């Protein structure tokens, strides 16, 4: 598939197995917002959407889940990956499926055991290291796109995290061997390689795959904020579509979207 943006690989002439284009930005307000504008323009022009990553070390107005702002911290990398419109069932599975695949890829590449807090927070020893925000949109009948927004604290120092008021967060530089000595280009290349790998390794069996990277263990007490209520109970895993299963006092509940407050 040929992209109208060209096969742009700005660093060392590298090509990736799944990413057709990489757009490296000195600074941008939001990589997800930029990806959305590009997608809508390409669809309006009846152009195919090749997998494209929008990347920056300096995102000035990023957003997390539920519209929360994503803090701007030195050494934090923003990668938003534009992909073609997934099939209906795959859209539901995409956030957790990509999170599982990325946690595995980063762990293997950086030699550190990362876990996934449902639905898509990357953590190390209960400290948040990154997060994922998936946005999907229908633009015209039968057409649309998904953007996988990923924010990862890569080269962020302990001093910068504490200074920004994130004592409970961490970074790859803090926990992974040798990362703190990497330059920005090498760190970027490694993370992009993990994103590219994750795009091609979505697990077919979400419940089984989530067990291998889950920050939660069966029987753990868990509190979840879902819409306008708090659900408490014991963690029971996830469904085949990635919904959270909680055993409450009144029986098992399945939660499609929410925030885990404690676990």
| 29-66 residue pLDDT tens | 999 999 999 998 888 888 888 999 999 999 988 776 55
> Cα dihedral sign for 127, 63, 59, 102?
positive
Locate CATH 2.30.30.100 in the chain. Answer: 216-262
Q: How far is it, in rounded angstroms, from Cα 221 to Cα 248?
A: 10
Checking if the pLDDT of 138 tops 80, the result is no
Locate CATH 3.30.930.10 in the chain. Answer: 21-212
Instruction: Reply yes or no on domain 21-212 having CATH 3.40.718.10.
Output: no
Q: Please give the model's pTM, rounded to 2 decimal places.
A: 0.90
| 175-231 residue pLDDT tens | 999 999 999 889 999 999 999 999 988 899 999 999 999 999 999 999 999 988 999
Average pLDDT, the chain: 89
CATH of 216-262, one of 3.40.50.2300, 3.40.50.1100, 2.30.30.100, 3.30.465.10: 2.30.30.100
pLDDT interval class at 5 (50, 70, 90):
very low
Question: Would you state the pLDDT for residue 58?
Answer: 92
Question: Would you state the pLDDT for residue 8?
Answer: 40
Question: Would you state the pLDDT for residue 72?
Answer: 76
55-69 per-residue burial string, b: 16 or more CB within 10 A, e: under 16: bbbebeebbebeeee
């Amino acid at each position: 598939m040929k992209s109208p943006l060209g096969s742009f690989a700005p660093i060392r002439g590298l090509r990736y197995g799944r990413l057709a284009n990489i757009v490296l930005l000195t600074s941008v307000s939001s990589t997800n917002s930029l990806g959305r504008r590009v997608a809508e323009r390409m669809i309006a022009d009846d152009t195919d959407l090749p997998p494209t990553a929008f990347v920056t070390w300096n995102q000035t107005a990023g957003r997390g889940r539920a519209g929360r702002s994503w803090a701007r911290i030195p050494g934090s990398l923003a990668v938003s990956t534009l992909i073609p419109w997934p099939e209906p069932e795959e859209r539901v599975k995409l956030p957790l499926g990509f999170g599982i695949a990325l946690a595995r890829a980063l762990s293997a590449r950086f030699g550190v055991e990362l876990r996934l807090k449902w639905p898509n927070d990357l953590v190390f020893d209960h400290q948040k290291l990154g997060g994922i925000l998936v946005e999907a949109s229908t633009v015209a009948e039968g057409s649309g796109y998904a953007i996988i927004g990923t924010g990862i604290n890569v080269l962020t120092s302990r001093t910068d995290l504490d200074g920004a008021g994130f004592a409970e967060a961490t970074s790859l530089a803090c926990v992974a061997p040798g990362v703190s000595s990497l330059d920005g280009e090498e760190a970027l290349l490694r993370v992009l390689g993990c994103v590219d790998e994750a795009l091609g390794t979505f697990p077919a069996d979400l419940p089984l795959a989530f067990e291998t990277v889950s920050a939660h263990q069966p029987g753990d007490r868990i509190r979840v904020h879902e819409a306008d209520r708090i659900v408490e109970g014991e963690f029971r895993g996830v469904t085949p579509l990635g919904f959270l299963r909680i055993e409450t006092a009144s029986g098992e509940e399945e939660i499609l979207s929410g925030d885990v407050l404690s676990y």
